[in-house]
Chain A
Amino acid sequence: MIELFHIWKQYRKPFWALADVSLEIKKGDFWFVTGPSGSGKTTLLKIIFRELLPTEGQILIDGVNVLKIHDSRIYRLRRMMGIVFQDFRLMFHRSVFDNVAVPLQVAGAGRKDIRRRVFSCLQKVSLHHKMWELPSSLSYGEQQRVAIARAIINNPEIILADEPTGNLDPELAFEIISLFKDINKQGTTVIIGSHDRELIRHFGDKIIFLQKGRIIGKETRS
């Protein structure tokens, strides 16, 4: 469970990127965080995976205060999360296989295990046939699927995706969110930052609306 208590974040005075944000996200939830550009979506996600520290407030993940984790122990938090970025953040001089294998290598998995799991994961995102290609030879949609494969390969408890469909056409965007839905069905908590109303209307069960750093509404559909 992810709990945010009165989170405030300020990059420069007098503007607040996040203002008094409190949230409770249960295990296995599928949330959309939406709002216009500059509303604080990315800041919120970055604070959850502790790339940023809030100016004020507390965050608990499974009862652990994230802000009190020592810098040298942050890797433990990151290993329970899969993160997908709008700009993919792929290593373009390394193969699709290498990109997807990174979280396993970091965790010290064996070579055979890595091969098996990378292949299986790339099968899930229908990219197993392009395993040895460089990301630069792939389309935007394929690159995004590589980033998703990297995020899910470690079977994380939480997936955070910041505008994962930002560069994609509507058809591909639907395909990508469907993929997240499938992952969510297996019990993974998924939080997606997006401003794509069509996607949210179609897939959004739980939605947080942000504006100027404040939560202006929450919607839960059954």
Chain B
Amino acid sequence: MIEKLRYFFRLAGNNLWQFRTRNAFSVTIICLSFLTVGLFVSFSNNIRFTVKRISDNMLIVFFLDEAAGESEIESLACEIAANPFIENVRRVSPAEARESFKANFPELQDLVESLKGNPFPASIEARIAPRAAGSTQVTLFIEKIKNRAPVTDIQYNQDWVERLKALSRVANALGFFFGGILVLTSFFTVSNVIKLNVFARKNEIEILRLVGATDLFIRIPFWLEGIALGLAGGTISLVLLFFIIQIFPVYVGSSLGAVRELLTFQVLDTSQCLWIIAGGAATGLVGSATSVSKFLKV
């Protein structure tokens, strides 16, 4: 058995080397296909990462009427804090709101300084527990508080989260659509390359048949060739993806301004990397197997 395996690997290796130009072409196509999939998955990862970060820090800001009394505000704060979905509550005075705005938008500091009086209302910031972010109970709670005095307005960034989640899904879908087309292309490329290899070894296959080789014995080296091409393509695509992820923020990221954080690529996790490598191997194997079964009449 070990001897046979050695023979299969040696033969597959010889063929990979003997027809290296066309095999390199095949690896390039597989690599480009999985690079495309990887880029979209990486982009989608980044959006999901951003969504998670926002969800983990999800705030509901209850803006208060200027005329609200201290006891009224305190009572509201207690009521909000009593809700099981709220992690903590912080009261923000108009002065704190103004300072916070100046800190967050330093370029608008002059504008704020030039204003007479303080236009920023007092507010209550309620941090939602991560497990409750986006739940309907939170929405119902907001609806309930909305019409209660002294609340004048409510800011809740759940809509943004939903939009980002949708964008992440679109990125994934686009990735699998374009990647799928390219993977299909690479499948046909591998299939044709293996077909050429089968034709090139027609004489040898004929000899193997005549000396009593089984169908499987003849096919296995071609399958191994396909798997090797796929593995190489998948692995190289990950290496390229890694470099793109490293280089992208340096060359392009700085020109993106505020959306930079959203448009960067997030490194793929281990399981995604393994899926890409396995996908490459599977593409190679299926491409090779269909070609061999179609063109190798044993």
Interface positions of A (Cβ within 8 A of B) = 49, 51, 71-72, 75-79, 83, 89-91, 93, 102-103, 105-111, 114, 150, 154
Contact = CB atoms under 8 A, between A and B. Distances in A.
Sorted nearest first, the 7 A-B pairs with minimum C-beta distance are A79-B212, A78-B212, A103-B211, A106-B213, A75-B212, A75-B214, A105-B7
B203 A91 contact: yes
- Interface majority SS (helix, strand, loop, mixed), chain A: helix
Interface string B1-39: 101101100000000001000000000000000000000
Contacts of B74: none
B112 to A, nearest CB: 81
Given A89-B207, A91-B204, A106 B3 contact: no
Contacts of A51: 210
Nearest to A90: B207
Nearest to A85: B210
Interface of B: 1, 3-4, 6-7, 18, 203-204, 206-215, 217, 298
A103 B6 CA distance: 15
Contacts of A49: 210
Nearest to A107: B212
Most buried by B among A72, A90, A93, A105: A105
- Interface majority SS (helix, strand, loop, mixed), chain B: helix
Most buried by A among B3, B6, B207: B207
Contacts of A107: 212
Contacts of B6: 111
A149 B147 CA distance: 98
A93 B11 CA distance: 12
A109 B214 contact: no
Most buried by B among A78, A110, A114: A78
B84 to A, nearest CB: 67
Given A72-B215, A106-B217, A83 B210 contact: yes
Contact of A78 (B3, B18, B209, B215): B209
A109 B6 CA distance: 12
Most buried by B among A76, A77, A102: A102
Contacts of B204: 91
Contacts of A89: 203, 206-207, 210
Contact of A106 (B18, B212, B298): B212
B208 A102 contact: yes
Contacts of B213: 75, 106
Contacts of B4: 105, 108
B7 A103 contact: no
A83 B204 CA distance: 15
A111 B206 contact: no
17 contacts: A75-B213, A75-B214, A76-B212, A78-B212, A89-B203, A89-B207, A89-B210, A90-B207, A102-B208, A102-B211, A106-B212, A106-B213, A106-B217, A107-B212, A109-B3, A150-B211, A154-B212
Contacts of B206: 89
A83 to B, nearest CB: 5
Contacts of A154: 211-212
A165 B18 CA distance: 33
Contacts of B1: 108
A169 B148 CA distance: 113
Nearest to B218: A106
Contact of A108 (B3, B210, B298): B3
A51 B208 CA distance: 13
Nearest to A88: B207
Nearest to A76: B212
Contacts of B209: 78
